[in-house]
Amino acid sequence: MTTTFQLGGELTVSRIGYGTMRLAPQESGFDTSVFHVWRAPADRQAAVAILRRAVESGVNLIDTADAYALGETEELIADALAPYRDDVVIATKVGAVHPTPTEWLPLGHPAYLRQQAELCLRRLRLDHIDLLQLHRIDPAYPLEDQVGALRQLVDAGKARHIGLSEVSVDQIRAAADIVPIASVQNLYNLTHRAAEDVVEYTASRAIAFLPWFPVAAGAHAAATGALAEIAAELGATPVQVSLAWLLHRSPTMLPIPGTASLSHLDENIAAARIQLSDNQFERLSAITAGVSA
């Protein structure tokens, strides 16, 4: 199993990346089932340390979005990773608004998408975005208009590659008629596997698949479950085995686990060194097949 992938056929990235959503703290007094991602980390130096440890440990794919902390997460990335700019691939997203801690709404007006990309460039202090992803398809506007706006940014040299998030195979095909699609970012893990057809399709087209929420908690992660048994066999943790299962599942799979803990970051990165046997992979797949959390 390789530990790197050629994103867009040309950018070499680590197969385990780092997702920055969890850098922002949960807001108190709101629905805890929703990721708030509303304010920048209270401990900025700790967040900088996380980002730098990730890169220094070999992670060079950093995923973020313009809506995370209303843009402050992008500013944090620019500050933290300025010394490493030539060594990292930064992916960001536009096309979702976050007007309150618990509201996430698609907004795909083409002019808005282009404006947000410009703001991403300013906050990240870049002259182009390595991977610009459409956060959500907005049903209020034709898909071709939304993806067409991203194509304009590629043509202008402001975006290098384009990705999509939470899409079907048909939507990937339609978007690819407008601009080459380098990545897809859908919810997918051991217990959320509704996107199996998208995983298969992206693998067949050498499109990166970035599973968000790659490590799920639930019955499968209990101390006596198959995940724990296989973790014991490998001398690993259940989290690491969950990530190893994803890496085994598809050669284009690029998990982007996020954390605000240095120890958890190290644990996640180490998962890239775990090799599941075919039997172990099948045991995990069979037990969790069809389960949703």
DSSP assignment string, 88-157: -EEEEEESEE-SSTT--EE---HHHHHHHHHHHHHHHT-SSEEEEEESS--TTS-HHHHHHHHHHHHHTT
In percent, how much of the chain has pLDDT > 70?
A: 95
* Angle at CA of residue 128, ends 125 and 131, nearest 5°: 110
Q: Is residue 69 part of a domain?
A: yes
84 is annotated as an active-site residue: no
pLDDT at 221 over 70: no
Q: Is residue 226 part of a domain?
A: no
Counting the structural domains of the chain, the total is: 1
Beta strands at 11-14 and 4-7: parallel, antiparallel or unpaired: antiparallel
For residue 186, which of 259, 139, 136, 145 has the smallest C-alpha distance?
136
Q: Is residue 279 part of a domain?
A: no
CA 68 to chain centroid, in Å, comes to 13
pLDDT at 58 over 90: yes
More confident residue, 219 or 267: 267
The mean pLDDT value of the chain amounts to 94
> What is the span of the domain harbouring residue 199?
4-215+251-257
pLDDT at 289 over 80: no
Provide the token pair at 292. 């949703």
Q: Is residue 196 part of a domain?
A: yes
Q: What is the mean pLDDT of residues 193-209?
A: 97
The letter for the amino acid at 66 is D
Q: Is residue 91 part of a domain?
A: yes
Residue in the structure block whose two tokens are 């085994």: 248
Q: Is residue 266 part of a domain?
A: no
pLDDT value of residue 114: 98
Q: Is residue 237 part of a domain?
A: no
User: What's the rounded Cα separation, in Å, for the pair 195 and 261?
Assistant: 29
Active-site residue, from 18, 68, 141, 188: 68
Mind listing the pLDDT tens digit for each residue in 116-145?
A: 999 999 999 999 999 999 999 999 999 999
User: What's the rounded Cα separation, in Å, for the pair 233 and 106?
Assistant: 44
Provide the token pair at 182. 């380098």
* C-alpha dihedral (162, 163, 164, 168), degrees to nearest 10: 110
Q: Is residue 154 part of a domain?
A: yes
pLDDT at 274 over 80: yes
Q: What is the mean pLDDT of residues 267-285?
A: 96
pLDDT at 288 over 70: no
Single pTM value for the model: 0.95
Q: Where are the beta strands (DSSP E) in the chain?
A: 4-7, 11-14, 18-19, 61-63, 89-94, 96-97, 105-106, 129-134, 159-165, 181-185, 208-209
Residue 148's CATH number? 3.20.20.100
Phi, psi of 12 (to 5 degrees): -80, 120
User: What's the rounded Cα separation, in Å, for the pair 36 and 24?
Assistant: 8
Q: Do residues 11 and 130 make contact, with C-beta atoms less than 8 angstroms apart?
A: yes
